Structure formats: structure tokens, C-alpha cells
């Protein structure tokens, strides 16, 4: 009888977690089998997998967190122009959120303005630096690119705000559209790797392979696709890598098939410990390799300094990036880190 009294609360807690995990899981993609979809789950190039529950528990037990200091205020950058009719301006907002103003189009990547990247408002990775642009200062947004469905990339509260204020179009990877539909959003296009869609003003968007994983709950691991994007234009393409680990072939292929890349947005953070993070997040040194292999004329760093997602501290990604760049023969193509709210004109 005593065992029953002990086990019942444990079972109740376990059942609660299972029900919560089920309720927040995203709908699963249903479609034909391909070289990166086995009918149930999506597969990385080369078959690399994110670590599972046992490795997660090991990491949590052994964690050595780097230093983060919460910055409550931000000077914010200048209010963006309403349009850049002829040219290209890229503004770093935070994390992997960029405002790309190109040839009369205003485009956001993975927009996140929420205070946490979590299904709950009271727990989960907390924002340590404010967005570099106030939401109220955004110009009219025409298009949003969503690389995958993790909470630090698909922030549904921000997405709903964008729909309410601007009603933009969304371009998403396979399977993510069903999640948007659950929230009443129907203005989207789904793309598989290497698929392309035309957008206004003579531009087009192509989904590109990335090495990562997906999921929002306990029962939807790899049930939707993850990707990067190429924004194609006559004056040089723009590569948004999204969230990705490194391998020796994907980015060389992108460099060959997607040239010329005038600007690239490549992640540098959430890479420690390497034994756990390397399948899904590139290190700053690997980000430099990606920069070189995609043959980018200019790269801007992303995925750092906003949310403490791994064991690297707030300043470590930039420090390690600078150390990696210092090893390159000079001159080399620039790889920049921007302050939140800082924008640059690219000619």
C-alpha cells in the first residue's frame, strides 16, 4: 500500500508532463518520402542527429554556464527607413532577427520580440538584451522568413502581432504551415530544400539545407523541416543560414549553387559544450568556415547575445569569432558583429 501512495503522485506528475508535452507539440508533416524525409521524420544531410534525452540529462547534470548580465535598457538604433527602393540595407534586431530592406521590400527573418523563448511566460530562456528596434518603429513588413519551429525562431506571439499590424506573407519550411493555420494564419508558402518561389520586385526566395532539428513539444521531434534561405536578386544574393551545425559538404554545395552571395547571416552562438551542441549549432570557428565555403562577400553574425541557450557566456561567441578571424590570411572577406539596432548599407 505504501508503494502505491508513493507511485501515484509520481505517475500523476509524469502524466501531467506527457499531457503538456502533447498539447504544445506541433502538427506533423504528411507528405511523400524523400532523401531527407522518411515518411515520419525529417533527416539531416548525412544523417546527423541531435542528441537525445540521455545526452540532455548528462548535459544538464554537468553544465558549466558562462556569464550573462541582463541589460534592461537599449539605446536602440535609428528608426528604419520606410523603404529602400534601390539597394540593400540589413539591420540586426536580435538573435536571428534581421530586417532586410532590399529593392523596395521589407523582410524579417525569424522575428522574436517576446521576453522568453518558451511555451510559457514564466519559465524558459529569458531575454537578456532588448530588441534593437522597437516593434512600434518597424516599417511595413511585406514578408517573413521562418527557418524552423523552435521557440527562439518561431515566436508565435510576435508572429500574431505582425499579422495584426502588417498582414505580411510568410515563407516557411515543410510542415510549419499547419502550425500557423492552428493560429488562424493562412498567408504562407511552404518550401522544401532547394525549392524556390518568386516574390515581388523581381526577387525570389529559395529554401536551403541546414543541419539542425525541429520540435515544440515532446511528441514532434523532427516532424517538420528546418532550413536556411537564399534571397535571390540580380545585384547579389543574400543567404540566411537560420540555425545550423557544420558539416563538410552542405555549405560547399550552397557556395557552388548559390553564387554570388553578396551578404550572409550566419549563427555563432549556443555552441558549448561542443560534444552536445555541435550536431545542431556551429561554433564561431565553424561559422568562419561556412562564411568561406558559401563564398560570402560579407557576413553578419547571428544567434548570439540575446538568450542564454547553451553554456557559452554572452561575450564568448564574439571573442571566439574574432580569434578565428585572426587566424585567416589577410585580406579576407569581412565577417561582422553588429550591435542590436545597427544597420549597414551593402553596395
- Predicted pLDDT of residue 78: 84
- Predicted pLDDT of residue 286: 99
Whether cis (ω within 30° of 0) applies to the bond prior to 260 is: yes
- Predicted pLDDT of residue 19: 41
For 10, the grid coordinates are: 509520481
- Predicted pLDDT of residue 84: 96
What is the C-alpha to C-alpha distance for residues 79 and 139, in angstroms, rounded to an integer?
Answer: 9
- Predicted pLDDT of residue 23: 66
- Cell 554570388 sits on residue: 260
For 204, the grid coordinates are: 525570389
For 21, the grid coordinates are: 508535452
Q: Are 134 and 128 in contact (CB under 8 A)?
A: no
What is the C-alpha to C-alpha distance for residues 157 and 154, in angstroms, rounded to an integer?
Answer: 9
For the question of whether the overall pTM of this predicted structure is more than 0.85, the answer is yes
- Predicted pLDDT of residue 119: 92
Q: Which residues of the chain have pLDDT under 70?
A: 1-23, 75
Q: Are 211 and 242 in contact (CB under 8 A)?
A: no
- Predicted pLDDT of residue 20: 53
For 222, the grid coordinates are: 523532427
Q: Which 8-state DSSP code applies to residue 125?
A: P
Q: Domains of the chain, with CATH numbers?
A: 54-62+71-346 (3.60.15.10)
- Cell 518558451 sits on residue: 118
For 29, the grid coordinates are: 508533416
75-98: per-residue pLDDT in tens?
Answer: 677 899 999 999 999 999 999 999
Amino acid at each position: 500500500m505504501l508503494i502505491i501512495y508513493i507511485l501515484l503522485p509520481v505517475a500523476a506528475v509524469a502524466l501531467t508532463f506527457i499531457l503538456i508535452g502533447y498539447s504544445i507539440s506541433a502538427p506533423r508533416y504528411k507528405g511523400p518520402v524523400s532523401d531527407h524525409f522518411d515518411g515520419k521524420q525529417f533527416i539531416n544531410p548525412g544523417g546527423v542527429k541531435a542528441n537525445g534525452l540521455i545526452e540532455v540529462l548528462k548535459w544538464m547534470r554537468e553544465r558549466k554556464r558562462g556569464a550573462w548580465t541582463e541589460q534592461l535598457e537599449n539605446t536602440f538604433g535609428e528608426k528604419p527607413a520606410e523603404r529602400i527602393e534601390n539597394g540593400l540595407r540589413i539591420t540586426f534586431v536580435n538573435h536571428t532577427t534581421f530586417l532586410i530592406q532590399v529593392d523596395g521590400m521589407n523582410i524579417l527573418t525569424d522575428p522574436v520580440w517576446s521576453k522568453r523563448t518558451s511555451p510559457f511566460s514564466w519559465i524558459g530562456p529569458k531575454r537578456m538584451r532588448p530588441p534593437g528596434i522597437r516593434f512600434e518603429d518597424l516599417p511595413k513588413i511585406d514578408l517573413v522568413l521562418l527557418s524552423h519551429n523552435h521557440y527562439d525562431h518561431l515566436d508565435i506571439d510576435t508572429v500574431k502581432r505582425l499579422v495584426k499590424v502588417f498582414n505580411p506573407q510568410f515563407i516557411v519550411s515543410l510542415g510549419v504551415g499547419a502550425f500557423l493555420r492552428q493560429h488562424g494564419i493562412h498567408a504562407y508558402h511552404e518550401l522544401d530544400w532547394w525549392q524556390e518561389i518568386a516574390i515581388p520586385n523581381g526577387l525570389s526566395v529559395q529554401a536551403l539545407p541546414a543541419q539542425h532539428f525541429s520540435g515544440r513539444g515532446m511528441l514532434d521531434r523532427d516532424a517538420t523541416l528546418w532550413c536556411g534561405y537564399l534571397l535571390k536578386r540580380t545585384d547579389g544574393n543574400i543567404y540566411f543560414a537560420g540555425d545550423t551545425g557544420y558539416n563538410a559538404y552542405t555549405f560547399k554545395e550552397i557556395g557552388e549553387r548559390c553564387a554570388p552571395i553578396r551578404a550572409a547571416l550566419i549563427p555563432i552562438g549556443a555552441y558549448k559544450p561542443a560534444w552536445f551542441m555541435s550536431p545542431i549549432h556551429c561554433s564561431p570557428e565553424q561559422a568562419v568556415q561556412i562564411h568561406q565555403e558559401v563564398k560570402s562577400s560579407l557576413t553578419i553574425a547571428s544567434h548570439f547575445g540575446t538568450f542564454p541557450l547553451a553554456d557559452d557566456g554572452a561575450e564568448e561567441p564574439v571573442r571566439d569569432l574574432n580569434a578565428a578571424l585572426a587566424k585567416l590570411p589577410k585580406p579576407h572577406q569581412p565577417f561582422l558583429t553588429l550591435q542590436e539596432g545597427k544597420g549597414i548599407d551593402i553596395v
